[in-house]
Amino acid sequence: MGQIGLIALSTGSLYTYGLSRIFALAAETGFDGIEVMVEAPQDTRDAAYLRRTATEHGLPIVALHSPFIFEVPGWPADQMNRLERTIALAQALEVRVVVTHLPYRVYALLCQWHSAHPRRAFIPVFWPRREPYYQLLRSAERLAEMEAATGVVIAVENMPVRRFLGLPISMYWLNRLDELARFPHLTLDTTHIGTWQLSPLDVWRVLGRRVAHVHLSNYDGREHRLPPDGDLPLGEFLQRLDQDGYAGVVSVECGPEPFEAEDPAACRANLERTLSFCRTHYRAGGGAQARR
Tell me, yes or no, whether 154 lies in a domain. Answer: yes
- 3-state secondary structure (DSSP) of residue 162: strand
Tell me what pLDDT residue 1 has: 43
Radius of gyration of the chain (CA): 18
> Alpha-carbon distance 16 to 150, whole Å?
32
With CA atoms as reference, report the closest residue to 247 among 279, 282, 211, 274: 211
Q: Tell me whether residue 260 is in a domain.
A: yes
d(CA 146, CA 150) in angstroms, rounded, equals 6
User: What is the pTM (predicted TM-score) of this model?
Assistant: 0.90
Q: Is residue 87 part of a domain?
A: yes
d(CA 229, CA 258): 9
pLDDT for residue 71: 85
Does a structural domain hold residue 2? no
The letter for the amino acid at 284 is A
Chain Cα centroid distance, residue 91: 18
pLDDT attached to residue 292: 36
Please, what is the end-to-end C-alpha distance for the chain in angstroms?
A: 19
Packing angle, helices 234-243 and 200-207, rounded to 10: 30
Decide if 1 is inside a domain. Answer: no
DSSP 71-124: --TTS-SSHHHHHHHHHHHHHHHT--EEEEEPPBSS--TTHHHHHH-TTS----
Domain around 87: 7-291
Coarse DSSP helix, strand, coil percentages of the chain, rounded to the nearest 5 percent: 45, 15, 40
In this prediction, residue 37 carries a pLDDT of 98
Looking at residue 118, its pLDDT comes to 46
10-residue averages of pLDDT along the chain (292 residues) = 79 97 98 97 97 98 93 90 97 98 71 46 50 91 97 98 86 94 97 97 97 98 97 98 95 98 98 97 58 36
Question: What CATH number is attached to the domain comprising 270?
Answer: 3.20.20.150
Q: How many CA atoms lie within 13 A of 171 on its CB side?
A: 10
User: Which residue(s) pair with 211 in the sheet?
Assistant: 186
Is residue 268 within 8 A of residue 29, CB to CB? The reply is yes
Total domains, the chain: 1
Per-residue burial over 50-62, b = 16 or more CB atoms within 10 Å of its CB, e = otherwise: beebbeebebbbb
